[in-house]
Amino acid sequence: MANQPVRVAAAARAAAKRAEKARRAEGPGTDSSPTPPVPGAEETERPEVVEDVEDTKVGEEVEVEVDEEGEAGEAGGTPSRRRRGRLVAVLAVLVVVGVTATTLLGLRYREAVRTDQARTSAAAAARTAAPVILSYDYRHLDRDFAAARGHLTGSFLDEYEKTTTTVVAPTAKKYQGVVKASVAKPPGDDAAPAVSVVSASPDEAVVLLFMNQVTNSTQVSGPRVDLNRVRMTLARTPQGWKVSAVDAL
């Protein structure tokens, strides 16, 4: 045990002190021969930590200071080390939070830019597609319908093909129908076409258009002009913006 030399030395010193007191009490003439040494006392070097111990009894424990950065420090870590560890953990969390926030802000900014681009691109695509989709001439229906299908996508493409084949084509041929559609434009040379983006996302947009349609057929005496409002839904495809739905308002 680490404390055994300290205890033996302390016991030896206590025994020597008691013998000295006994000799003084007996007075002159008493044998003053030195007290026999205690076994192990001469061979054991007295530690500095018990230099001032005088009355230590046999078996009494002597407290020995342990360096704060000794074994206890290795096991649990000193307070300064623990504080540094907590600081490193907090800094790591802050770094993760900062990177996450920056990433989210970057994604939101990118999505906002794409949405703005979608609004512009979808509005331009709607202005181009609307006159083609809403116009036809009984003299070249196949060509007109094929041109219109080039601006369509999804289920609306199938719906358009079915409607033009079963309804529009037979009626146009029977009454020699000719319809010319154009996007309405307010008076003024610098006025923009009447097109408005209702909603937009990077991959889809809803556009409202004001259309002028001039119809000629054997059923009307002279051209008939109709002002219609049309809502178009457009979807982004690998081939550009295409019309996925048309609703007359």
Is the pLDDT confidence value at 175 over 70?
A: yes
Query: In the predicted model, what is the mean pLDDT of residues 226-238?
Result: 95
Is 142 inside any structural domain? Answer: yes
Same domain, 58 and 133: no
Query: In the predicted model, what is the mean pLDDT of residues 98-123?
Result: 83
Is the pLDDT confidence value at 15 over 90?
A: no
Is 54 inside any structural domain? Answer: yes
182, 131 contact by CB (below 8 A): yes
State which residues form the domain around 38: 4-27+34-63
At 7 the pLDDT is 56
Residues 238-248 pLDDT 10s: 999 999 999 99
Is 81 inside any structural domain? Answer: no
Among the residue ranges 56-65, 129-138, 179-188, the one predicted with the least confidence is 56-65
Is the pLDDT confidence value at 221 over 90?
A: no
Same domain, 40 and 148: no
Instruction: Identify the three-state secondary structure at position 160.
Output: helix
151, 132 contact by CB (below 8 A): yes
Name the phi and psi angles at 62, rounded to 5: -105, 130
Is 229 inside any structural domain? Answer: yes
Is 79 inside any structural domain? Answer: no
At 103 the pLDDT is 78
The percentage of the chain sitting over the pLDDT mark of 70, rounded to a whole number, equals 70
- The domain that holds 163 is classified in CATH as 3.10.450.230
At 161 the pLDDT is 96
Which band of pLDDT confidence, cut at 50, 70 and 90, is reported for residue 168? very high
Same domain, 139 and 239: yes
Give, for 174, the enclosing helix (H) or strand (E): helix 169-175
Same domain, 164 and 242: yes
193, 184 contact by CB (below 8 A): yes
Give the E-state strand segments of the chain in sequence order. Answer: 136-137, 178-183, 195-201, 204-216, 224-237, 240-248
Question: CA-CA distance, 200 to 198, in Å (whole number)?
Answer: 7
Which band of pLDDT confidence, cut at 50, 70 and 90, is reported for residue 26? low
Is 88 inside any structural domain? Answer: no
Same domain, 123 and 242: yes
Pairing state of beta strands 224-237 and 240-248?
Answer: antiparallel
Same domain, 132 and 242: yes
Is 239 inside any structural domain? Answer: yes
Same domain, 127 and 23: no
Same domain, 49 and 110: no
Same domain, 133 and 204: yes
Is the pLDDT confidence value at 218 over 50?
A: yes
Same domain, 43 and 145: no
Which is higher by pLDDT, 40 or 138? 138
Query: In the chain, how many domains are there?
Result: 2
Is 98 inside any structural domain? Answer: no
Same domain, 55 and 168: no
Residues 129-139 pLDDT 10s: 999 999 999 99
Same domain, 132 and 44: no
- pTM over cut 0.75: no
Among the residue ranges 53-62, 122-131, 142-151, 240-249, the one predicted with the least confidence is 53-62
Q: Which residue has the tokens 């680490």?
A: 2
